[in-house]
Amino acid sequence: MGRAARARRATATASRDAFGESDEELGTDALSRPAVAASRATSRRLRRARGGDGSPVTGGGGHAGPRPAPAQGVPPAPEGVPPVATREEAAITATGATGTPGDARPPRSAAPVREAPRRHGARSRLAALDGREGAGLGRARPRRTGPPRRGWRREAAPPREAMPGTTRAAETARAAGKAAYAAGAPATVPIAGILAGAVVAVLAAAMISQAVGSLFGFWDNEASRRASVEGLPPYVTYSMVLAALECQDKYGHPAGCTLAQVIVESGVGDHLSGLATRDNNLFGIKWAPSFASCPEVAGKESWQTREEYGGASVTVVDAFTRFRSYEDCIRFRSRVLLQAGRYSGNEKIRRAIEGRDSDLMAEGLKDAGYATSSSYVDSLKAAMDAYGLRRFDSMSADDLRRAGPAGAASGKGATIVAAAQTQLGTPYVWGGSTPNKALDCSGLTQWCYAQAGIRIPHQSDAQLRAGTMVPLSQAEPGDILWRPGHVAIYIGGDSYIHAPQPGDHVRVGTGISRFTCAVRIQ
């Protein structure tokens, strides 16, 4: 048995011995044995003060009157317990029987009363029984109605309650929030979410549409660019031809010779050389420190190359310029390289620029020391002949842009449009029927139809009779546009390709309303 249990049993036993009931029955802590002994001693002193028989002591000659009734509010003494003097009785005892203060004898002195020791939270058992409120025994406390509390065991404190003001403020805030939610929050939150979702969906759809459109547009543009240079090597792209024409428009360098250099310097069968593929160098341009600050230049690389010295071919390693793109390389050639004194001061090159002559340009480049090969000029002219590059000398960049996409046509119509685009720049010669050299209007249409496997006569009125007349509003790419004395190839939109007149060349025209009708030949 533990120490706490033994103490609890001893306390309960003492309580039963003194009062005949346990501390649980009293609802308060039990009195200890010293407290009981002190209570009995106090009772004996009171009896002696009253007299041996328990009656109050009177003054001289006085008599004892009847015992006064207990004071109001003081319960009578229980059975078997000596009565305890009230305040009134104590006053009678002090003044004597007559009640006159002057006749009173000094009261018998009594030893001070010691209050029984009490534990924390317990009230005096004597005070509860006697009902006295004197300072010696203390004032009775109201009896606890809750569960008994023991001095040797501290109960856990109940949870702290919130301040009334704080509670009211919190309840007010919660009520306001509930009211706001009931009033509009359930509608506002879903609407905001729906709107945000709709915006995100629209943006996503727009981005996807733009990406898909760009992708298909890229494919369409690439197809049209390939068709625009039909008849050239597969590695010569539309963008290369356009860049050469732009440089021709700006600097005067014949575009036919520019494209011939691309073929001779970088063409290897049906693909470009490693120098062109890796470093975008289409013309074999070597490195110079002054090139480093040019925006078209990306750096330099060392390459092994074959050069001719004194009629002998030798292999050397040299530094070559690396460009950012093919188009940058073409622009650099005209903007920087050919502006050097040995090229810009060459007589043949100046004449070639004035007359848009690719043959003379090739000769001027060899004279200025562009290449070491003794057959360089012949190689350039052979490329011009093979691919009809001289026709580009009389074209402009706008002519190429207006040619339109050949992909707008289908089947034989696409073949006819692509054939007409290859003849842009060919000189007009009355009665001419030789592609890339001499063509008139009906000679151009005859040759283009022949590329699609369709034989038609060489004369505009005869071509009208060979097909079916169609309103201009129903014309399709590849149809012949006819008016008295002139024909052209319709390429879509409001554009066409034709050989206009003597002294001119094959070019793109606009305004199909100048013609009478369209002719469709199957």
Grade residue 176 by pLDDT with cuts at 50, 70 and 90. low
SS3 320: strand
Regarding whether 447 and 385 lie in a shared domain, the answer is no
Q: Which of 366, 394, 422 is the last residue of a domain?
A: 394
Residue 181 falls within a domain, yes or no?
A: no
User: What CA–CA distance (Å, rounded) separates 455 from 447?
Assistant: 9
Q: Which residue has the higher pLDDT, 165 or 447?
A: 447
Residue 164 falls within a domain, yes or no?
A: no
Residue 115 has pLDDT above 50, yes or no: no
Grade residue 168 by pLDDT with cuts at 50, 70 and 90. low
187: CB partners within 8 A, 6+ apart:
none
**Contact (CB, 8 A) for 59 and 72:** no
Segment 306-321 mean pLDDT: 80
Regarding whether 313 and 364 lie in a shared domain, the answer is yes
Residue 437 falls within a domain, yes or no?
A: yes
Tokens representing residue 44 in the block: 């004996």
Least confident of 197-201, 261-265, 421-425: 197-201
Grade residue 198 by pLDDT with cuts at 50, 70 and 90. confident
Regarding whether 352 and 237 lie in a shared domain, the answer is yes
Q: Own/partner pairs for 65-72, CB < 8 Å, 24+ apart?
A: 65/97, 68/92
The mean pLDDT value of the chain amounts to 74
CA 493 to chain centre: 43
Q: Which of 7, 30, 8 is nearest to 20 (CA)?
A: 30
Residue 370 falls within a domain, yes or no?
A: yes
Structural domain count of the chain? 3
Regarding whether 367 and 413 lie in a shared domain, the answer is no
DSSP 324: S
Kindly report the CATH number assigned to the domain that includes residue 256.
1.10.530.10
CB-count exposure of residue 477 (10 Å: 0-12, 13-18, 19+) = buried
User: What CA–CA distance (Å, rounded) separates 495 from 511?
Assistant: 6
State the virtual CA torsion across 319, 322, 393, 481 in degrees, nearest 10: 150
Helix axes 412-422, 441-451, angle to 10 degrees: 130
Regarding whether 385 and 411 lie in a shared domain, the answer is no
Least confident of 27-31, 193-197, 348-352, 485-489: 27-31
User: What CA–CA distance (Å, rounded) separates 345 from 361?
Assistant: 13
Regarding whether 318 and 442 lie in a shared domain, the answer is no
Residue range(s) defining the domain that contains residue 97: 3-130
Regarding whether 378 and 241 lie in a shared domain, the answer is yes
pLDDT number for residue 264 = 95
pLDDT number for residue 76 = 53
Regarding whether 463 and 360 lie in a shared domain, the answer is no
Regarding whether 104 and 43 lie in a shared domain, the answer is yes
Residue 273 has pLDDT above 90, yes or no: yes
Instruction: Read off the pLDDT of residues 375-429 as tens digits, 9 standing for 90 and up.
Output: 999 999 999 988 888 888 888 888 888 765 444 455 788 889 888 988 888 999 9
Cα distances (Å, whole numbers) of residue 415 to 70, 389, 409, 454:
138, 20, 8, 11
DSSP 30: P
pLDDT number for residue 511 = 92
Cβ atoms < 10 Å from Cβ of 356:
21
pLDDT number for residue 31 = 44
**Sign for the pseudo-dihedral over CA of 288, 289, 295, 299:** positive
Regarding whether 388 and 421 lie in a shared domain, the answer is no
User: What CA–CA distance (Å, rounded) separates 140 from 126?
Assistant: 9
Residue 379 falls within a domain, yes or no?
A: yes
Residue 141 falls within a domain, yes or no?
A: no
Residue 211 falls within a domain, yes or no?
A: no
Grade residue 33 by pLDDT with cuts at 50, 70 and 90. low
User: What CA–CA distance (Å, rounded) separates 513 from 516?
Assistant: 7
Regarding whether 272 and 253 lie in a shared domain, the answer is yes
Residue 510 falls within a domain, yes or no?
A: yes
153: CB partners within 8 A, 6+ apart:
none
Q: Which of 394, 426, 443 is the last residue of a domain?
A: 394
Regarding whether 15 and 88 lie in a shared domain, the answer is yes
Cβ atoms < 10 Å from Cβ of 336:
16
**Contact (CB, 8 A) for 510 and 502:** no
Alpha carbons within 13 A on the beta-carbon side of 232: 30
The terminus-to-terminus CA distance of the chain in angstroms comes to: 122
DSSP string of 478-504?
TPEEEETTEEEEEEETTEEEE--STT-
